[in-house]
Amino acid sequence: MTILVTGGAGFIGGNFVLDWLAGTDEAVVNVDKLTYAGNLDTLQGLQGDTRHVFVRADIGDRDVIGRLLAEHKPRAVINFAAESHVDRSIHGPGDFIQTNVVGTFNLLESVRAYWNELPADDKATFRFLHVSTDEVYGTLEANDPPFSETNTYEPNSPYSASKAASDHLVRAWHHTYGLPVLTTNCSNNYGPYHFPEKLIPLVILNALNGKPLPIYGDGQQIRDWLYVKDHCSAIRRVLEAGKVGETYNVGGWNEKANLDVVKTICSLLDQLQPRTDGQGYAEQITYVTDRPGHDRRYAIDATKLARELGWKPAETFESGIRKTVEWYLANQDWVKNVTSGAYREWVSTQYGA
């Protein structure tokens, strides 16, 4: 048996591949375009493992995807491949439309052609699992209930709009063509192997390098934080037992303001690797101009996933963030390899020199 994973050298996809192969002998065909956030160093521990087949390719390349499907005959496709950073989508929305919308369309068409030719038994058990985001639902007021699977889509950034479009395509391919799909919408992930453009790894990296810790606006934007390995376990559970055509929200039940997250990281670093000058890392916090259209609050209601499939996160935010900080302290070589000159140039453009 084999599964095909797209975007499996990225943050969530890479963690999923590592966890999958640590827990099963089922092979993985791993397709990743290796854009800036795709990193083979994440998969270094799989070198020589015959269960892992890596192919550098674009999900929109129907010839390559079609050949891989025909050759490896996977029982499932899990689609992590996406451009996923809101700030980058504001500066360059075209890449997000191309990958998240056009790429998903082409992938769906490749998978549909493969699925249509499967024997009846294999066709019945095949699954296409599409990994998406809570940002498609828009923003919440302070007293609003968390997002459920029935919330209206109200995306507010080019990124979330492109992911909303991909979700709609997946739904349509199920209802129109019968493709057996599953969709998950997750809250903000954090953990090992996270490319340091997102809040938590950026703050850890900047803190250790004596740089400002940039906080958008007043820092009171609230997110529901989900440890990446909990997210991976949820995806495995949905793939195993999810009802075809259904959407499952995946959350960590951990609503935190951005400023509180940064202060927690600073406190952990004060314990684990104190500054040489005796000052606290919180001294480096710097407020920067808020980004356009910044959603104020996200929160996920993961009740459906708990009730129907028995899943719940294993980590609290306190346990997960400590594991995350400890991982970055222990894996500085990985960080150095991904923070190239192009990365530093982008950070300078985004947050100011």
Catalytic residue (choose from 32, 58, 87, 134): 134
Selecting among 114, 137, 159, 248, the annotated active-site residue is: 159
In whole angstroms, what is the distance from residue 215 CA to residue 139 CA? 19
Task: State yes or no: is 159 an active-site residue.
Answer: yes
SS3 of residue 302 by DSSP: coil
Concerning whether 134 is annotated as a catalytic residue, the answer is yes
Active site residue 197: no
- Active-site position among 58, 135, 301, 315: 135
Q: Is 231 exposed, middle or buried (0-12, 13-18, 19+ CB in 10 A)?
A: buried
Q: Are 72 and 43 in contact (CB under 8 A)?
A: no
Number of helices (H) and strands (E), helices first, in the chain? 14, 12
Full DSSP string of 98-151: IIIIIIHHHHHHHHHHHHHTS-HHHHHH-EEEEEEEGGGG----TTSPPB-TTS
Q: Are 249 and 149 in contact (CB under 8 A)?
A: yes
- How many CB atoms within 10 Å of residue 226? 28
Residues forming the active site? 134-135, 159
